[in-house]
Structure 1
Amino acid sequence: MRDVLDNDLAELYPLREADDLRLARLREQLFAERPRSRRWVGAAAVFVAVMLITGLVVYLRPARPADMASPATSLTEAAELLTRATPQGAVKHLRYEIWRTAVSLTGDPGAEQVEYRLEVWLPVEDGQKPRVDFEPTGRRRALPGFPEMSREAVQAQASSTMISFVGPPCSLTPCSVPDPIIPASRLWGEAIKSASSPLLAPFASNNRKAEIYRDLATLDAVRWVDGSVFIEGGTGTISIDPTTGDVSGYEERGTYGGYLPVGTVVQSVKVTTDWTDQRPS
């Protein structure tokens, strides 16, 4: 039995000296006790030994496959990653963690930041119904020097928050998003802010986002620093995952016409993208 095992393994997996010592120890353990069934022990020996040797092979395999694309170092390279990406499942799942400043200038004035959760399950196949879940998480942050807003005022702004992220309703795939207003924003630092809406939209295709990346790359003022895309003096910063090209976040600063202090972060978004085989019913 030992000879058969050794011959089979030698043909399947060339052994180094260190591996041969480990296999020898394994053989002694396997054959130390009287087997109940020679056939059973033989099968178990082959299974365990092969697992041992293949385990060594897996351990030695590079963590980063040689054919994996290098991380993007520019918007054009991020666009290339998006256009080459293939679905990793039947349903694309996007999760948004959104902090947005709510400001009420009428009635009982106030301002505070409210957190929302948006989850979207987007089937890859055409003619399928996407699922969208949106709700305030209940977490709120006060802005120094401003009273809290009423619950009614916060709820009134929740619907506008959902519309701004999801865009027009989509009953069946494929879905679409409105075009960004980039040309009208070339005169100042608002190109990033204009592009953020369709880039954050869950229904935007990879090809559409790649087009927007390339449009932004034509603007001399646009900067890329380790996946952060911004314009000096602008109000918005888009975060892009250099390994996938996906948008991973957004931050916007503003004053609401002077109502808030200069430099206030009025909106921050974290986006997580993954894949699943089916969407929740």
Structure 2
Amino acid sequence: MSLLKVENLSKEFNSIKAVNGINFEVNSGDILGLLGPNGAGKSTTISMISTLIRPSSGDILYKGESIVKNPKIIQKNLGVVPQEIALYPTLSGYENLKFWGNIYGLRGRVLKERIDEISEIIGIKDRLKDKVEKYSGGMKRRINIGASILHKPEILIMDEPTVGIDPQSRNHILQTILDLNKQGMTIIYTSHYMEEVEQLCNKISIMDKGKIIACGTKEELIQIIKDNNKITLRFDDVTDTLIQNIKTIDYIKEVKVEGEDIVVLSDNANNIFKDIINKLSQLDSEILSIEVEKPNLETVFLHLTGRALRD
């Protein structure tokens, strides 16, 4: 049985379908990456899983039980790292963690020990007494994460947890996520950084216009466009005759001119060198370089949505 199962989930706002009949499963120990351009429905989806808003239709099952009918069955086992910083700036880091620990029902020595553990995990122990308003953006993000895992949740939802932070804090957060996952925490992760998803996630769901349009491992998603190799050819002189000659190669699907480069899509990167050189032997143009770009998660995303992830 899956840990979390989303079934035909939809949400409408004033007749606009923000989420439109999506289905996916999260197994225990997964790091599921939820990808999509702005407006795809990611935030609405995780708000429904977080029990913050009710779906218009469909269901969400946690260990086989509906959290739409009974939100309390997941709430004590759920941690949420929101995109916005959910901290009190005039309180210290310690006071913020203590506040959120109290919300989760932690008290006394148990709470103190847990704050000590968390401050080690997020790497901010020496700054706990400082007010949050004195923290850098990266430090605020770390405390934000710390507050969400005080109660040792089974599922952690992270909505863009590395937005606008320095590289050192970002790397620390990514390593923290991997460490938490090794300790048994299941994570749902949204990001506008493709490289983060590739580094962290064992499963990826791509959303666009309120629907899940692809789901699988990175390798399974790349298989969707496995034959779309992008080859960039640079010449000393790009002529119409040269372009027409390249277009006559059977397995070339598309040819575009970008300045002095000719960009082609082909399902046969291996033979293109030989065939293009043969074509060039009939012309005066000299080839300066050839660069082959194999399909990756970014090209899959562009192929499926027509937009870059940050659009």
- Which interval holds the TM-score relative to the shorter structure? under 0.3
Q: TM-score, normalization: structure 1? A: 0.23
Q: Answer with 1 or 2: which has the greater Rg.
A: 1
Q: TM-score, normalization: structure 2? A: 0.21
